[in-house]
Chain A
Amino acid sequence: MSTDASPPLVPGQAAPPTESGDLSRSIASSGAGDRVYTGLTTFFALCIPLLLAFLALEIGRAAWPAFSRFGLGFITSSEWNVPAGRFGAAPAIFGTIVSSVIALVLATPLAIGVAIFLSEFAPPWLQQPVAFLVDLLAAIPSVVYGLWGIFVLIPLLRDPVIPFLRDTLHLGATPFFAGPAYGPSMLAAGVILAIMSLPYISAVSREVLRAVPRSQREAALALGATRWEMIWDAVLPNARSGIIGGVILGLGRALGETMAVTMVIGNRAEISASLLAPGYTMASLIANEFSEATSDLHLSALMAVGGVLFVITIVVNGIARWLVWTVERGAAG
Chain B
Amino acid sequence: MNRPKPAFGLLLAVAASLAVAGCTSESGKTPADTSGSASTKTPGRLTGAGATFPYPIYSKWFSDYAAKTGVKINYQSIGSGGGIRQLSEETVDFGASDAPMNDTELAAAKGGPILHFPTVLGAVVVTYNIPGLSAPLRLTSAILADIFAGRVTKWNASAVATLNPGVQLPNSDILVVHRTDGSGTTFIFTSYLAATSPAWKAGPGAGKEVAWPVGLGGKGNEGVAGQVKQTPGAIGYIELAYANQNKLPYAAIQNSTGAFVVPTIASVTAAAASIADTLSASSDYRVSVANAAGKDAYPISSMTWLLVYKNQRDSVKGKELVDFLRWSYETGYESAAALDYAPLPAKLRERLIARLGMISLGGA
Q: Which residues of A contact B (CB under 8 A)?
A: 35, 38-40, 42-43, 46, 79-84, 150, 154-155, 180, 182-184, 262-263, 266-269, 278, 280, 284, 287-289, 291-295
Contact = CB atoms under 8 A, between A and B. Distances in A.
Interface string B178-210: 001111100000000000000000001111111
B229 to A, nearest CB: 10
Contact of A291 (B7, B79, B231): B79
A289 B219 contact: no
A16 to B, nearest CB: 21
B105 interface: yes
Contact of A82 (B82, B173, B209): B209
Q: Interface size bucket, B side?
A: 35 or more
Contacts of B3: 35, 38-39, 42
A23 B208 CA distance: 63
Contacts of A155: 230
B215 interface: yes
A175 B295 CA distance: 51
Contacts of A291: 78-79, 81-82, 181-182
Nearest to A289: B182
Interface in B76-90: 78-82, 84-85
Contacts of A38: 3
A288 B216 contact: no
Contacts of A266: 216-217
A292 B182 contact: yes
Interface string B156-170: 000000000000000
Contacts of B82: 291-292
B1 interface: yes
B217 to A, nearest CB: 3
A268 B210 contact: no
Contact of A288 (B11, B85, B180): B180
A292 B208 contact: yes
Contacts of B205: 83-84
Contacts of B184: 292
A40 B216 contact: no
A268 B209 CA distance: 12
A83 B206 contact: yes
A150 B208 contact: no
Nearest to B2: A39
A294 B307 CA distance: 15
Nearest to A294: B81
A267 B182 CA distance: 12
A61 to B, nearest CB: 17
Nearest to B175: A182
Contacts of A267: 180, 216-219
Contacts of B204: 83
Enumerate the 6 nearest inter-chain pairs by beta-carbon distance, A residue then B residue, closest first: A292-B182, A267-B217, A291-B79, A39-B3, A267-B180, A43-B4
Nearest to A80: B211
21 contacts: A35-B3, A39-B3, A39-B7, A43-B4, A81-B211, A82-B209, A83-B205, A83-B207, A150-B226, A155-B230, A262-B180, A262-B219, A268-B215, A280-B217, A288-B182, A289-B181, A292-B80, A292-B82, A292-B184, A293-B81, A295-B104
A251 B80 CA distance: 34
B227 interface: yes
A289 B209 contact: yes
B232 to A, nearest CB: 11
B81 A292 contact: yes
Interface string B246-289: 00000000000000000000000000000000000000000000
A39 B80 CA distance: 46
B109 to A, nearest CB: 12
A94 B285 CA distance: 43
B85 A294 contact: yes
A321 B74 CA distance: 48
A15 B212 CA distance: 56
A92 to B, nearest CB: 12
A195 to B, nearest CB: 20
Interface in B58-90: 78-82, 84-85
B223 interface: yes
A46 B212 CA distance: 46
Given A39-B7, A43-B4, A288-B209, 10 more contacts: A42-B1, A42-B4, A43-B11, A79-B211, A82-B210, A82-B211, A83-B204, A263-B223, A266-B216, A267-B180
Contacts of B211: 79-84, 269
B78 to A, nearest CB: 6
Contacts of B80: 292, 294
Contact of B209 (A79, A180, A284, A292): A292
Nearest to A42: B4
Contacts of A278: 216-217
A180 B173 contact: yes
A163 to B, nearest CB: 16
Contacts of B217: 266-268, 278, 280, 288
A245 to B, nearest CB: 29
